[in-house]
A and B are shown apart, each in its own frame.
Chain A
Amino acid sequence: QQQVKQSPQSLIVQKGGISIINCAYENTAFDYFPWYQQFPGKGPALLIAIRPDVSEKKEGRFTISFNKSAKQFSLHIMDSQPGDSATYFCAASMLGSARQLTFGSGTQLTVLP
């Protein structure tokens, strides 16, 4: 049973466009939601994270939007660049689970030049 559902599986965006990746969760005990970015041949690396006490967090061109009532959160990449082409994973964790991360299935983003 996948506790964090991620969509779409793949996404193609033109340079300068907005990339949007969505995640949904069921377990209301989750209280920390990071996004990881993975380039080919490399391990994932933390990109940005949010706690549910805020509805939005922005770092440069990357923004997380969080909707607690809908149990959904999304990553927006503004002014997408070819260098943003990577696989993106959403994740969630909670107290009492030793802060284990539960990952979504990943989204392969391709930004065309």
Chain B
Amino acid sequence: DADVTQTPRNRITKTGKRIMLECSQTKGHDRMYWYRQDPGLGLRLIYYSFDVKDINKGEISDGYSVSRQAQAKFSLSLESAIPNQTALYFCATSAPGLNQPQHFGDGTRLSIL
């Protein structure tokens, strides 16, 4: 079983719909992250959380919100989806400490029509 699981893996929806992407992990890591990947732009950080009570905005948080329901669960929501939010979304986790590697899920491909 994957250590970092993202659901759904693929989603097609319409402009204006509310969408939730979910991430769960079995690695026991406190730190969790949401990124989006766009061709030619690499990965950009949307939100990150260092524990259940700590939520921080990343580089591109506008139009997104998150919820850290438990140490193992971190959800990303698009309240009113727009076409330019079409992208590949990744959840990642890391252990606390200096320069710990981030462990990524396999991504959610989101298309907004």
Contacts and interface: CB of A to CB of B under 8 A. Distances in A.
Interface of A: 4, 6, 9, 32, 34, 41-46, 49, 51, 89, 93, 98-101, 103-106
B43 A89 contact: yes
Contacts of B103: 45
Nearest to A89: B42
A44 B41 contact: no
Interface string B97-113: 01101111111000000
Interface in B47-101: 48, 50, 56, 58-59, 90, 92, 98-99, 101
B104 A101 contact: no
Chain B interface size band reads 20 to 34
Contacts of A42: 106-107
A43 B5 CA distance: 11
B102 A103 contact: no
Contacts of B92: 43
Interface of B: 4, 40-45, 48, 50, 56, 58-59, 90, 92, 98-99, 101-107
A43 B44 contact: no
A103 B107 contact: no
B101 A34 contact: yes
Given A49-B99, A98-B56, A106 B107 contact: no
Given A103-B44, A105-B40, A105-B42, A46 B99 contact: no
Given A103-B43, A104-B42, A43 B99 contact: no
A33 B88 CA distance: 23
A18 to B, nearest CB: 23
B110 to A, nearest CB: 15
A10 to B, nearest CB: 11
Contacts of A98: 48, 50, 56
Contacts of B40: 9, 105-106
B90 A43 contact: yes
Given A43-B4, A100-B58, A6 B106 contact: no
A51 B56 CA distance: 26
Contacts of A46: 101-102
